[in-house]
Structure formats: C-alpha cells, structure tokens
Amino acid sequence: MADTGHVAKPIGIFDSGLGGLTVARAIRAALPAEDLVYLGDTARVPYGTRSAETVIKYAIGCAERLLSYDIKLLVVACNTASGVALGELEARLSIPVLGVIQPGAKAGVQATRSGRIGVLATSGTVASGAYERAIHSENSAMRVFAQAAPLFVPLAEEGWVTGAVPRLAAERYLQPLVEVDVDTIVLGCTHYPLLNETIHDVAAELLGHDVVVVDSAEATASALRETVDTGVAESGTAGELRILVTDLPGQFASSASRFLGKPVQGLDIQAIDL
Ligand code: DGL
C-alpha cells in the first residue's frame, strides 16, 4: 500500500448506514489525530440483501462523493461492499483503499488454534465467498464456515443486544458453527460487534469450550495504523469526525451514539444526496 503519511487530508470511510461507525470508533481510538469523513448511506441500507451489481454501483457512488473531500485513503467499512466491490474501487481510485475483510480474516487466522474458523456475516457477504478467499490467502489449510446472521442487523440497530431475543437468534445462527466445532468466530458485519458479548457467551455455552470472537472493526483499525504515519497522532491533537448521511432517520442520534459508543451531541452531521 502507498505511503499516506499524516498530512492534513482526511481519511474517508463509508458504510451502508450507521453500522460502520463501529469502524470509525476503532479508527479514532487507534489514530486519534486523523480527521475522518464518514459517509453512511442510510437512504439505501441494507446492502447485505442486495445483488453484487447493485452494491458495486452504490459503493462507487459513496467513494466518488468522499473523493470530493480530498481524502487521502478510503476505508470500506461495510463488509458487504468490501466483499463485492473492493476490486472495482481499487481499480478506479488513485488513493489506497482498505476493506474490512482482509484484516478480519488475518486476525481470525492469528487467533485460531484448531484451524476451524466460523464467520458470521450478511447473506451478501456469505454469498460472495470473500471471507473464505481472504482466510485462505492468509493460510490455505484453514477450514472456514460462513453463516448468514441477518437478524443481528436490526437487533443491533434497535439496541436489543442482550437478553432472550438476541440469545435465541444467536443460538440459531451459531448452531451450524457449533456442529463443526469452531474455536474462532469472525464478526463479518459492521453491526455485529454490538452483539459481541451475547455471541461470545452463547457460542462458548453451546461449544462447551471458550471461543475467540474477532471484531473486524478493531482488526481494520490496527491494519490502518500500520499504513498511516502516526507521528502527529502522538502530539495529542484530536482529529475531527464529520458525518454525512443520505437520509436522516428519526432515531438517528440514538442509533449513531450506540455505534459510536458515545453521545453524538456536538458532532458535525450533514444530510447529502448521492
Ligand atoms: N454494513 C453491512 C455489512 O457490514 C451490514 C448492514 C447492511 O446489510 O447494509 O455487511
């Protein structure tokens, strides 16, 4: 990847909606001095149930808009878009493009002891086979078991992340991964880190042994840290976070603060048209 250095240009991040704020949060923690421009395509979410052609078209639209902010690097925070549109974006853009799948895959390979890795993701990401390819590019001996977990998306948006309902959903989605006895589960969707605790606890109970749950948002932020020169980050200057959304849903503030892990008051939020 090209040397991006720390210059005044911001890092662009996009997702199908607000879920990618989990990635923005991890990036802010890893690179606090960097300015970030986050685009959430809230008017067209979800991407996870759409065809690859449609997701590629949407991803190009998001990337082109972010380029108008003179970004130095693009992070594709959406796993579904990373799964189907990364190659197309890399071919079109002259700046570095980082997806969330390869960092998540690498962290999964580093975590596993048994070589049996489960992946929870949207139907679109599972159908793309992107995690299998990414994990096998790290280590071809790994066994990968990908499972779509679509109900986790609305549960995370609703803030319904613990208790009987998410546990029941987790039991259903995890059963196929329990049957093949994985020891590591990669959260291959922007929304799933909010359910991390429930997913971990239910998986460990059903498996009868501990399991490592890998958050691809954290893994992406670590990968980004290796790319961007953090010299200025140590000076203590706080970077800015600007948020662009294609629709301003009524419950925007509560959803955004859940994904960001803090109240959104005082944030620069702007509604745009793509
Ligand atoms: N951002 C999507 C992902 O990470 C999840 C939500 C959606 O389906 O758009 O795959």
Residue 44 lies in a domain: yes
Q: What's the per-residue H, E or C state across 214-248?
A: EEHHHHHHHHHHHHCCCCHHHHCCCCCEEEEECCC
> Tell me, what's the pLDDT at 252?
82
State how many domains the chain has: 2
In a domain, 245, yes or no: yes
62 is catalytic: no
pLDDT for the residue 4: 52
Residue 62 and residue 25 share a domain: yes
Cα distance between residue 37 and residue 62, in whole Å: 12
Co-location of 89 and 224 in the same domain: yes
Tell me, yes or no, whether 267 lies in a domain: yes
Please tell me whether residues 209 and 225 are part of one structural domain: no
Instruction: Out of 18, 42, 79, 194, give the residue to mutate to test ligand 1, the one with the largest number of ligand atoms within 8 Å of its CB.
Output: 79
Indicate if 117 and 203 belong to the same structural domain.
Answer: yes
What is the model's pLDDT at position 124? Answer: 93
Q: Does the active-site annotation cover 78?
A: yes
pLDDT of residue 264: 83
CA distance 76 to 220: 10
CATH of the domain at 258: 3.40.50.1860
Q: Tell whether 40 and 111 lie within a shared domain.
A: no
Owning domain of residue 229: 11-99+219-271
Q: Do residues 210 and 224 share a domain?
A: no
Selected catalytic residue, list 78, 97, 149, 244: 78
By most ligand atoms within 8 Å of CB, the mutation choice from 15, 54, 128 for ligand 1 is: 15
**Is residue 152 domain-shared with residue 237, that is, in the same domain?**
no
- C-beta separation of 215 from 100 below 8 A: no
Ranges in the chain, pLDDT < 50: 1-3, 231-234
For residue 243, which of 263, 267, 260, 222 has the smallest C-alpha distance? 267
pTM (2 decimals)? 0.92
Same domain, 75 and 31: yes
Six-digit token string for 46: 């979800």
Nearest CA, atom 9, ligand 1: 46
Residues 107 and 212 in one domain: yes
17 in any annotated domain: yes
Report the pocket of ligand 1 as residue ranges, CB < 6 Å. 15-17, 19, 45-48, 78-80, 122, 125, 153, 189-191
